[in-house]
Amino acid sequence: MSLHVDVITIFPDMIRSYVSESILGRAQTLGYLSVTAHDLRDGAHDARRSVDDTPFGGGPGMVLTPGPIAAVIEGANDGAGIARPLIALTPSGKRFDQAQAQTLAHLGSFSLLCGRYEGIDQRILDHYVDEEYSIGDFVLAGGELAALVVIEAAARLIPGVLGNEDSPVAESFADGLLEYPQYTKPQEFSGAQVPPVLLSGDHGRIASWRLAKALKRTLERRPDLIEAKGGLSEADQALLGRIDELEGRQKSD
């Protein structure tokens, strides 16, 4: 399984630089991932290679003009075109989440369009773009960071990309819950001890404690996720009632 991503941006080096490091760099070296950053300015035909213009109807700032974007999408420059589906990063898109990362990881290839300034001419979104994703309810200066978020979230789910095959299975959102708390050495840090259950060697009890902590944390921090699962099952509730006992402590904190 491998993934190819075409990115359309006025800052291709931002994309190239980030994806060449760490897990994404390794994934590319091993052939699990390839990312091609297309310079939007290659689609511009005037001497200044301009890609933006003032908004019709007035208002502040500039808007990415459709011509250069269409030229890159259609491969007018190198004849190669870009992979489909084409996803635009916009604050008004569908909220990107782990389930979508999972879907993208299995697609084999897709493309990302990064906006800048006040955004992208609506006719490009209407006629060329298959989907719009937002990475959250805030406004960035450009789509590049959002594109990198999408690429990294999808690429790390390709089997082999992470060193440990179990990692994407047990983590936050994989099963509709936030992850349980993690601890590493030392056993005591500034007077704070690691929960005794983790030192017990009893794998069944550790698994039960972790699930109970994941349930408790999700209930406290993201009740919407519990609701989306259809509420707590009887088994979940029973487990929550046993947290202190599982942890090996007398009283809850």
What are the residues binding ligand SAH (CB under 6 A)?
89-92, 114-116, 118-120, 134-136, 138-140, 142-143, 146
Q: Closest separation between CB of residue 119 and ligand SAH, Å? A: 4
| Cβ at position 62, least distance to ligand SAH in Å | 10
Q: Cβ closer to ligand SAH: 52 or 247?
A: 52
| DSSP state string for the chain | --EEEEEEES-HHHHHHHHTSHHHHHHHHTTSEEEEEEEGGGG--STT---EEPPTT--SS-EE-HHHHHHHHTTTTTS----SSEEEEEEEEEEP-HHHHHHHHTTSEEEEEE-BTT-B-HHHHHHT-SEEEESSSS--SBSHHHHHHHHHHHHTTSTTSSSSTTHHHHSTTTTSSPPPP---S-SEETTEEPPGGGGS--HHHHHHHHHHHHHHHHHHH-HHHHHHTTS--HHHHHHHHTHHHHHT-SS--
- Minimum distance, C-beta of residue 41 to ligand SAH, in the bound complex (Å): 16
Q: Which CB atom, from 11 or from 180, has the smaller least distance to ligand SAH? A: 11
The CB-of-216 to ligand SAH minimum distance in angstroms stands at 30
Question: By C-beta, is 9 or 218 nearer to ligand SAH?
Answer: 9
| Residue with nearest beta carbon to ligand SAH | 115
Please say which residue, 116 or 213, places its beta carbon nearer to ligand SAH.
116
**From the CB of 201, what's the least distance to ligand SAH, in Å?**
45
Smaller CB separation from ligand SAH, 44 or 63: 63
